[in-house]
Structure 1
Amino acid sequence: MIKKIFDFYLDASIHVALAIFSLVHVTALTLNINVPFELYCFIFFGSISCYNFIKFGVEAEKYILVSNTYQKNIQFFSLGCLLVAAYQLFFLSEKVLISLFVLAAITGLYALPVLPRHKNFRSFSGLKILIVAAVWAGATVVLPSISVLNEISWNIKVETLQRFFFVLVLLVPFEIRDLKYDNVALKTLPQRVGFKRTIVIGYLWAIFFYTLTFLKLDVDLNYIAVKTIVFIILMVMLYKTELDQKRYFSSFWVEAIPLFWWLVFLLSKKYII
């Protein structure tokens, strides 16, 4: 029973939604802003419905007409989350709604067949991980920032770019895990450069992520210490990434890294400052 609940927790995208939620709070702590509770709710519940749509409904018809009971349960759960997320829209500012529309459009282009030669933008060579990283960066940095602040400062721009590289690193184990299942036509990063070079590229992205820490205008020792710990975790994760991964390596442990970042940040705020 515990295993079934845990698998549903992963398959229904609750874990990834918590990861996204935690990154939003990391942004709030980093920029020292009070993000509206309604935006937290929208991002959490919206992430569940959005990710489940992408996973189980690349084609809209397939998503509506699922026959598997397990997927039906996830479908109804996702519908409930979508309704909760939609209700939060009434409390969000106009500029946040416009930004949400842009992110939703990018997500739709990623999942839905809208192109004549390509089923969707996901099928473009190498574009898949860039879209995912851009949407995560927008949702976890830009949205909470503009919900409170009137302008995008230099620090916010750096944080957004840093978050982009952070997500790119997190996607490396998933790209390698799916290597044996992905269609050759997708030309994913591991398909193009191989396993070892993909890991090397992941190391470079992690270094870019950490280097950007020192481009902020006001950097304190606590901030550097937290980013250093996250950087070390990313490097260890890449080192541990294999072609034949254990079942929960990517789907649980890799997706838990944003939660670890959040926890480390909270502990640093409480015990260091």
Structure 2
Amino acid sequence: MLELPDTNSFYVLAFIFCSTFFTYNFQRIYRLKSFELAGKLIGIRLSWILRNRKKLFFASMLSACGSLFFLLQLSYKVFLLVIPLAIFSIWYVIPFIKSGDKKIAIRDLPFTKIVIISLVWSLVMVAIPVVEAKGIHTLLESKSLFLLSEQFLFIFAITLPFDIRDLRYDMESNIKTIPSYLGIKKTIMLSHILLLLFLMLKAVQYYVFLQLSFEQFLATVITGGLVMLIIAFTKRRRPELFFSGLIDGSMLLMYFGILFLEY
């Protein structure tokens, strides 16, 4: 669908990589600091970050510089798109919304965390390449909206298990999430339904719009099936690698599956 020159493709991918690395580590380091100030216990992830905080801070600063450099190589329309995404990403963990006698972050709003994550990731992975390739006006075209919808469904589905993982912390912090409302089993069922909708849209894209090759469609179906199987085994106390490795890695699995089948 997108025809980016090789140089632009590199700049887009490099920008997304650097900005994601910086944002992810910034959020973790900030949360670690807030946990320390509140005297809360930290899990395995934050314990590892605590031990490597200085190295992560240095790497994050390099990523921030790289992100700015690569962004300046892209069109100004991408820059305009990135501004609201950056605001949501940075203020996602910083308390600034007044709620009673305290301030809360965007992630603490009821049922908001997963929607923000899915929306921002979808825009980063679809909107930025689309805007760089064809201009910001093409975001409202049917093909772009179709891609955004697919990506949103997929990210939403694979993010639900992370809400299951964080269920205890969210309940202790009085943060309302889908698992706290539906329960773990129904949340897993919802994730499967969203993945089926994602695959249905991919089928329409393949059979009706003829926008996918057979190899791309097959890789998507296989990956979707594997992700559904993995999510079926989601439990709150699964090892961190189950979430950050298997479920998060499913995005790369689809990409490598397409590469393997096509080449």
Q: Shorter-chain TM-score: what band?
A: 0.7 to 0.9
1:189 corresponds to 2:154: no
AA paired with 1:234?
V
Superposed CA deviations along residues 192-219 of structure 1, whole A, max 9, x for unmatched, are 1111111111111111111111333224
1:133 corresponds to 2:118: yes
Residue 252 of structure 1 deviates from its aligned partner by 1.2
2:201 to 184, 203, 212: 212
2:192 to 192, 203, 217: 203
Give the equivalent residue in structure 1 for 2:90. Answer: 108
Conserved in 2, the CA contact under 8 Å of 1:43 and 1:139? Answer: yes
Residue 89 of structure 1 deviates from its aligned partner by 2.3
Superposed CA deviations along residues 121-178 of structure 1, whole A, max 9, x for unmatched, are 1111110000001011000111011111132332221111111111111112211111
Conserved in 2, the CA contact under 8 Å of 1:33 and 1:148? Answer: yes
Q: What is the CA–CA distance in structure 2 between the aligned matches of 1:86 and 1:213, rounded to whole Å?
A: 34
- Superposition pairs of residues 47-126 of structure 1, within 5 angstroms: 47-58=20-31, 68=50, 70-117=52-99, 118-126=103-111
TM-score (norm 2): 0.83
Secondary structure, aligned partner of 1:102: helix
Give the equivalent residue in structure 2 for 1:24. Answer: none
Give the equivalent residue in structure 1 for 2:46. Answer: none
TM-score (norm 1): 0.80
Q: Assess, with a 3 A threshold, how the Cα gap between structure 1 residues 266 and 103 changes in structure 2: closer, same or farther.
A: same
Secondary structure, aligned partner of 1:198: helix
1:234 to 203, 227, 230: 227
What is the percent sequence identity of the aligned residues?
Answer: 23
Residue 60 of structure 1 deviates from its aligned partner by 8.5
Residue 31 of structure 1 deviates from its aligned partner by 3.8
Unaligned runs of 5+ in 2: 37-48
Q: What is the CA–CA distance in structure 2 between the aligned matches of 1:267 and 1:248, rounded to whole Å?
A: 24
Q: What is the CA–CA distance in structure 2 between the aligned matches of 1:168 and 1:110, rounded to whole Å?
A: 17
Give the equivalent residue in structure 1 for 2:15. Answer: 42
Q: What is the CA–CA distance in structure 1 between the aligned matches of 2:201 and 2:72, rounded to whole Å?
A: 36
Give the equivalent residue in structure 1 for 2:251. Answer: 258
- Superposition pairs of residues 5-16 of structure 1, within 5 angstroms: none
Give the equivalent residue in structure 1 for 2:39. Answer: none
Q: What is the CA–CA distance in structure 1 between the aligned matches of 2:123 and 2:33, rounded to whole Å?
A: 25
Q: What is the CA–CA distance in structure 2 between the aligned matches of 1:207 and 1:192, rounded to whole Å?
A: 22
Residue 70 of structure 1 deviates from its aligned partner by 1.9
Conserved in 1, the CA contact under 8 Å of 2:97 and 2:104? Answer: yes
Q: What is the CA–CA distance in structure 2 between the aligned matches of 1:60 and 1:96, rounded to whole Å?
A: 32
Quote the RMSD (CA, aligned, Å): 2.3
The size of the alignment, in residue pairs, is 238
Superposed CA deviations along residues 237-257 of structure 1, whole A, max 9, x for unmatched, are 111212320231001111111
Comparing both chains, which one has the higher relative contact order based on Cα–Cα distances under 8 Å and sequence gaps of 6 or more? 1
Q: What is the CA–CA distance in structure 2 between the aligned matches of 1:208 and 1:114, rounded to whole Å?
A: 35
Conserved in 1, the CA contact under 8 Å of 2:77 and 2:131? Answer: yes
Secondary structure, aligned partner of 1:116: strand
Q: What is the CA–CA distance in structure 1 between the aligned matches of 2:164 and 2:50, rounded to whole Å?
A: 28
Conserved in 2, the CA contact under 8 Å of 1:59 and 1:112? Answer: no
Conserved in 2, the CA contact under 8 Å of 1:158 and 1:215? Answer: no
